[in-house]
Structure 1
């Protein structure tokens, strides 16, 4: 069923913005992952200088959605020596607004997770079933829904043009884009809350969802996509400049079709994805968390991956280096970079040894 769905009317993103060809051919670079790492650094530096000239968006706002537990062994891949088996991450949505050259206003929501339906993701459903009910409120804190935040920002759902995720783990989009068939758990056919919105996604990730590998299945809700209209998706292969100071760049590895949001703002260039869960994971030599600096020093690794899936770990490492090369240093503390994890490590007294040395917490920009 899903294979047939993917073969139909998924739209192409060519109607939006400008395609980025700077990173084309990375998978064909001879010499293995080490040669591709050097290639990624060089190409990222080239794109960085080009990207600044595209301008800046009108605004970027940050909206906290949910703080929840996450295995330390996933989030701080092999490096952490903290005793706590879990840490906390805060999932956030970015709201980006800009104008096209003809004056049309655009709104992009990056990581607009439906937290309620996301709990049905197989991994988190199994984890939740093992946690005693009284502990749920201690470990999980919901900060506000996508619609609550948009109302605060005075953005009507009808004004939203694009939805984008770094990857589709945990996502259930049925309430956002509507369904073509009745949904038993949602009370019938679902009308879209964002009637104009299109979902920007790498074509490779959509294709992979037709036949998930056993290592991927705990993290996807693939069946929920069967009731969606294929034309709600804008499929992309590689990178694309969406608007002034707004780009999507392919960063495969965490999943094959992983992608990162890149923004040029008043403080310089940012990148956002879930390739790492803390800014210090890109400069672990400055981390005070137990184990990170020692791991990086011992093994000569300059980044610490978020590795709940291991589809192609070396490729994910190279992608995070690409992001590291693109971004500017933080104005708050120049030891750390303007990498904004879409799910950021958050201190919790219940999880000793996992408090971040440095947190961004938000991107705020007014053009």
Structure 2
């Protein structure tokens, strides 16, 4: 499938921030994934000290978008003994603001999902088709929309500089960045965020034109056919975007996965969808059925969120990077300041999947 940016120089556009080379080449470390795991831990330790010295952003605000069902076998990969085939996750957006050294103010939206269009993702569309409407309404709760949250915060759409997703599973960006021609389902699409650039790993952007069969249930590649090419900033690896704001390449869940890292008043946080609960980074403290026992039995120190299983060992190693970077929670030091972009949420309908601990928000002013 031919995509809009393939006829442009979008893949060669300059990228923002300062390039970070600390995590380059982890996949090529001699000795295989085990050697790469040790290297990942060492490199994250080095970067942690450097990153803490960059300062802090002006503010971080958390906005709930939607709570919806997700397969337990994916979200608590191999570890859960819950009888419920589904669990509940809450998708949230982070609004990050900082000031550049020259006084320019920046606004970044992390995970600004258009959940209405996201429901057209093949996997979720099939799930909706097989689930009676009454059951869907009981299991799904819409908390707010991206434009609605920004209006509440007093942020004008044209003030948004960057859109960032940990990966592009389920994402349909047409309303946010606009299209080059009318769409069959939406008509003429003028961008909600006319100045915003989508920061995406080059790997994932290129893969969109020729998806592997394992990837297809989770992407909507046809929605990228006509998106504005100049809306993308394709990056290779990790960047410090501003004071206390970085995006770190964390491949595995998808090849182009990336993690938002923030230095705040409570220390360093990381956010991605590599796991769906903070306790999945310290499973020995989980009270969910099977989690601690599985981790102990198999010597695993993390529990993955794995659906496409693109490179499971690489995802494990990326989680060790995240685990090493962050601080412990001030609310409960058994758990880390890892904020799942889709966080496990207790539900009466999903016995055995109630989290031991939840963050619910990152708040920094």
TM-score bucket (shorter structure): over 0.9
How many residue pairs match? The answer is 365
In structure 1, C-alpha distance between the alignment counterparts of 2:10 and 2:293, rounded to whole Å? 46
Offset of residue 13 of structure 1: 6.4
What TM-score does the superposition give when structure 2 sets the normalisation length? Answer: 0.98
Q: Indicate yes or no: 2:274 matched with 1:278.
A: no
Instruction: Kindly state the Cα deviation for residue 14 of structure 1 after the two structures are TM-superposed.
Output: 4.0
Partner of residue 337, structure 1: 336
Q: How does 1:1-367 map to 2 (within 5 A)?
A: 1-2=1-2, 5-6=5-6, 8-12=8-12, 14-186=14-186, 188-366=187-365
**C-alpha distance 192-349 of structure 1, shift in aligned 2 (>3 A):** same
| Distance in 2 (alpha carbons) for counterparts of 1:339 and 1:14 | 30
Q: Distance in 2 between matches of 1:78 and 1:319?
A: 18
Q: Which moved more, 1:276-285 or 1:6-15?
A: 6-15
- Report if aligned partners of 1:328, 1:337 keep a CA contact under 8 Å in 2: yes
- Which whole-Å deviations, capped at 9, do the CAs of 1:16-51 have from their partners, x for residues lacking one? 110001111212211000000000000000000000
What is the CA distance between 1:264 and its match in structure 2?
0.2
Give the whole-Å Cα distance in 2 for the aligned partners of 1:349 and 1:172: 30
Gaps of 5+ in 2: none
Shift of 1:4: 6.7
* Maintained 8 Å contact 1:6/1:206: no
Q: Contact 1:282 / 1:324 at 8 angstroms: preserved in 2?
A: yes
Structure 1 stretch displaced more, 88-97 or 132-141: 132-141
> Shift of the alpha carbon at 1:5?
3.3
How large is the RMSD of aligned CA atoms in angstroms? 1.0
Deviations 1:175-207 (A, max 9, x none): 000000110100x22000000000000000011
Q: What displacement does 1:262 show?
A: 0.2
**Aligned partners of 1:2, 1:40: CA distance in 2, in Å?**
36
- The CA distance in 1 between the partners of 2:50 and 2:173, in whole Å, is 34
**Kept after mapping to 2: 8 A contact 1:13/1:200:** no
Q: Could you say if the C-alpha distance between residues 13 and 285 of structure 1 is closer, same or farther in structure 2, counting changes exceeding 3 Å?
A: farther
> Distance between the aligned counterparts of 2:156 and 2:3, measured in 1?
34
Q: State whether residues 197 and 232 of structure 1, in contact with CA within 8 Å, keep that contact through their aligned partners in structure 2.
A: yes
CA distance in 1, matches of 2:168, 2:264: 26
Q: Give TM-score scaled by structure 1 length.
A: 0.98
Alpha-carbon shift at residue 12 of structure 1 (Å): 4.9
Alpha-carbon distance in structure 2 between the residues aligned to 1:178 and 1:200: 16
Q: Determine the C-alpha separation between the residues in 1 that align with 2:260 and 2:13.
A: 15
The structure-2 alpha-carbon separation of the partners of 1:5 and 1:16, relative to structure 1 and needing over 3 Å to count, comes to closer
Large movers: runs of 4+ above 2 Å: 1-9, 11-15
Q: Distance in 1 between matches of 2:5 and 2:282?
A: 42
